């Protein structure tokens, strides 16, 4: 079964399949170590497609294998890999990775990183290390950017738990990571800010 076949399947399976894959952009190559799954309309309130198709999320409705890039908090880019059946919105957020090529370039883009393990630890840092921005929206990732690993990661190495920083369905165990990898981000449950009266 090819990576594209796995991306066309259920979002949880697609997320697991992406672990260990290599992503190359901006002269840097990373090995994915942590991802989060988001399903489509209605069933996942944390998904950008929860309320239906918009100009921002249209790419999430397929086909699988394309990049959904969005800008958040007015300062960061995050990238997802579109997955699932054509016409059904789902995507996998790329949360963390190990830099395995172009490390000096990644360091120059992430001068605040104290250790190499922190260069692409977190979705915004990952995009920063790879110089990913809105121009990647709609890019077909299997055409020279995303490379299927030589062997899928063994199931015993893949851990799962709640997603990070989401307000809806925050306990859904759809964050997947490689157990024991130092580049995996620390789990922090979302705590809503209290409003001052």
Element (H, E) at 12: helix 11-18
Q: Per residue in 64-78, pLDDT tens?
A: 999 999 998 777 999
* Measured distance between the N- and C-terminal CA atoms of the chain, rounded to whole angstroms: 56
Q: Which domains are delineated in the chain?
A: 3-178 (3.10.300.10)
Count of C-beta atoms within a 10 Å radius of residue 86: 10
Task: Please determine, for residue 94, whether its predicted confidence score (pLDDT) is greater than 70.
Answer: yes
In which element (H, E) is residue 68 found?
strand 67-72
What distance lies between CA 26 and its chain's CA centroid?
17
In tens, the pLDDT along 118-149 reads 999 999 999 999 999 999 999 999 987 788 87
Q: Report pTM.
A: 0.90
């Amino acid at each position: 079964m090819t990576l594209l076949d796995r991306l066309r399947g259920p979002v949880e399976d697609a997320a697991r399949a992406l672990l260990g894959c290599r992503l190359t952009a901006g002269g840097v190559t990373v090995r994915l170590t942590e991802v989060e799954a988001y399903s489509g309309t209605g069933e996942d309130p944390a998904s950008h497609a929860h309320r239906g198709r918009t100009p921002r999320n249209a790419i999430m409705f397929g086909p699988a294998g394309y990049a959904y890039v969005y800008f958040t908090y007015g300062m960061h880019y995050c990238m997802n890999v579109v997955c699932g059946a054509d016409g059904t919105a789902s995507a996998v957020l790329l949360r963390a990775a190990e830099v395995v090529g172009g490390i000096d370039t990644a360091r120059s883009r992430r001068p605040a990183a104290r250790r190499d393990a922190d260069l692409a630890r977190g979705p915004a840092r990952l995009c920063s290390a790879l110089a990913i921005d809105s121009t990647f929206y709609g890019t077909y990732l299997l055409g020279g950017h995303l490379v299927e690993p030589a062997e899928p990661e063994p199931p015993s190495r893949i851990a799962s738990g709640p997603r990070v920083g989401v307000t809806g369905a925050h306990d859904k165990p759809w964050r997947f990571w490689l157990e024991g990898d130092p580049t995996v981000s620390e789990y922090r449950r979302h705590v809503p800010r209290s409003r001052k009266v």
